[in-house]
Structure 1
Amino acid sequence: MSDLGDDPAIPDPHGIRKPKTAKNNHSETLGIHTNQPKLDALQSLHLTPQLKKISGLVAGFAFLAVLGLVFFGAYESLKSNSQAQIESAQNQLTELQKEVAVLRNELQDGLDDIYKEIESLEVSIHSFKEKKAENKVIYKPPPIPHEAELRRWRYLGSLQMGHSQRAYFHTGKGGSTFEMGASVLGDWRLSHIQKDVVTLTHPQGKSLALTASKSE
């Protein structure tokens, strides 16, 4: 019966029974106050990981943003430096091309001058050869007096008389005898006597050899 609760039909003059409403209100109030810390704890437990997760994402995005700015700045700096280096290299290449063009022109001018000098030398050499050929005179030494006449003489032989050696000639006009070293005809001298040949010399350096032959 106690589990079923108090019967409202039975009077309670002493006020033993407590009002049900107050009990219920107290229980509900007590339940609310009892569950409030749990709710706060649950809410704190549920919000803390989310906040941590959000904070981590925000920090990650911030790091990525800073890293992107750093890379962007480095890229722009590298790009500007590369552009400056390219422009500098292009300027240097242009200057080198100008210098090469100037050197090429100077070289061409120098080659033209050299070709002109070579042509001038060739013309001069050709002219010199022509003049030399025109002015060239075949030199014939003048004939030595009595040379032709002596060539017609005939050597007949030699004779040794003591310390003196003589040679016999037929001059075409008659016989003649000459001693070694004697003047034969003009400036010609008898310089050498052998059995089969004699030598006649001239002061100009000319020599004439006559071989022995039998007289007619």
Structure 2
Amino acid sequence: MTPEHAALIDGEPLPTARVNAFLEAPAGHHEHAPARRQPEAPSLARQRRRWATQVIVTDELARRACADRGLKVPEEASPLSVLAVAETDVADLGSIVAAALAHSPAARTLLAALEAEQTVPETAVRDYYDLNRDRFLTPEALRQGVDPFGETTAPEDLLPYDTARDGIARELRRAAGRRAFFGWLDRARSTVVYSHGHEHPGDPSHPDHEHRH
């Protein structure tokens, strides 16, 4: 028998119906869920439900965090849809977090707020430029096969620091924002109590567990 709630968040039930609605959204929305086959093996179906629960829990936690912070969450015409998730995002974030960010306006709003809060020291930007010179070769230097770390590299082979600086700072701020989001999510999920059949897909206490993020 399916429980009426998928989880308890601060003692408040998260309805199973929200997970069911997400699972029943049109095919193609959940591109990075555990693969769906016809017919679907029971273990895979259980893992799909656990995966979907994590996406919905993340959405609910983000809604609450945005409300606590006074952040306005934009309305979406189709709140169940998952936008296209880039493979690089799946690699960097894991399938659950990438899908949650694609699915949840609240999660995206919170991530943007956390990113905006990050301060990137000038020394960190400069260090990144100095340690990753291969990323700042000019097109001409790339064509010539210049070794960015070689002793013969000329200043004109590299984009000037002042030219590269703003892009580096944005990249480091984005990375710091993602780390802050992961930290927030780990803390927020630590008190969630899951109903049977809705545990985290990587929870070793159930027999179908696998280490997916």
Give TM class, smaller chain: under 0.3
Higher strand share: 1
Which entry has the higher C-alpha Rg, 1 or 2? Answer: 1
Comparing both chains, which one has the higher relative contact order based on Cα–Cα distances under 8 Å and sequence gaps of 6 or more? 2
- The normalised TM-score by structure 1 is 0.16
- The normalised TM-score by structure 2 is 0.16
